């Protein structure tokens, strides 16, 4: 994470006369778009924030579902733009999922990243304090803190793997990008309901689906407004697979042929054809 002020951002964009590509926060992405518009209307490619849903259906393999859910949100201490920070679990497996998720989170090893642990520190004190403020907000707004929520040790910026249950869609931890190891678990009944709730966000970077029903996977993947949808996996990609977001998660795509097109323009060249047999 880094921070820029308006003057630095505007200057950087002004000196680039053809194209600007940026990966980072939505807030800075807005500044870059504004600067691009005020300079010479140069095109921009933006890969920004996310609040990605992971939808776990009744027929899912529960062990796989718990592993994917925690990998999705705890990877890199939760400091990941596509973090699956909204975990929607269907009511038939909700309680059992929570039991297994709590047990697995408690066993997660946190500490010095050079000593073979599973989770290291947050990037700096500012981010650490931001994450702790979100955890306190979740408690104050009535989410059920099942495990974690505290600092690990008294040195460094380590946060316990945290799991909230019974999260409501209007809570801050449900709507804002935390960028930390905080799992928010929601209960849902049917597919139409979860589609509406998963799409009820200003972001649209990624999503995940865990189900053994191909028809359900197809229906959900086509309905969720996100640039990448993983089915029975998470955080899997390749240099030839386009990556980018819908809505406030960005503009354009990285990787693949589509990613190259961001840096190209179409030109029409017209010349007369004299004595052409086709005229």
Residues carrying an active site annotation: 47, 81
Letter string b/e over residues 200-237, b meaning 16 or more CB atoms within 10 A of that residue's CB? ebebbbbbbbbbeeeebbebbbebbbbbbbbbeebbee
Q: How many residues does the chain have?
A: 279
- Give the pair of three-digit tokens for residue 26: 């939505």
DSSP 20: E
CA dihedral 13, 18, 24, 28 (to 10 degrees): 30
Q: How many whole angstroms separate alpha carbon 163 and alpha carbon 143? A: 10
- Answer whether 14's CB lies under 8 Å from 217's CB: no
Letter string b/e over residues 134-167, b meaning 16 or more CB atoms within 10 A of that residue's CB? bbeebeeeebebbbbbeebeeeebbbbbbbbbeb
Question: The tokens 């503009």 sit on which residue?
Answer: 251
């Amino acid at each position: 994470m880094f921070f820029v002020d308006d003057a630095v951002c505007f200057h950087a964009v002004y000196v680039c006369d053809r194209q600007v590509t940026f990966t980072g926060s939505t807030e800075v992405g807005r500044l870059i778009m504004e600067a691009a518009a005020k300079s010479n209307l140069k095109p921009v490619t933006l890969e920004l924030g996310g609040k990605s849903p992971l939808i776990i259906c009744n027929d899912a393999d529960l062990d796989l579902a718990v592993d994917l859910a925690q990998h999705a949100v705890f990877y890199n201490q939760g400091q990941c733009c596509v973090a699956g920070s909204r975990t929607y679990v269907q009511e038939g497996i909700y309680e059992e999922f929570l039991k297994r998720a709590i047990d697995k989170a408690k066993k997660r090893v946190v500490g010095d990243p050079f000593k073979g642990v599973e989770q290291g520190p947050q990037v700096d004190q500012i981010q650490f304090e931001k994450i702790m403020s979100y955890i306190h907000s979740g408690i104050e707004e009535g989410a059920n803190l099942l495990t974690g929520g505290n600092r690990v040790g008294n040195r460094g910026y380590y946060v316990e793997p945290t799991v909230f249950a019974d999260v409501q869609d209007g809570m801050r931890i449900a709507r804002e990008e935390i960028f930390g190891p905080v799992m928010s678990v929601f209960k849902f009944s049917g597919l139409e309901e979860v589609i509406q709730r998963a799409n009820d966000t200003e972001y649209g970077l990624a999503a995940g689906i865990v189900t053994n029903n191909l028809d359900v996977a197809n229906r959900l993947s086509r309905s969720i407004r996100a640039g990448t949808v993983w089915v029975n996996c998470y955080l899997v990609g390749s240099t030839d697979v386009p990556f980018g977001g819908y809505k406030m998660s960005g503009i354009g795509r990285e990787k693949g042929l589509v990613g190259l097109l961001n840096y190209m323009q179409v030109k029409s060249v017209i010349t007369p054809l004299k004595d052409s047999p086709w005229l």
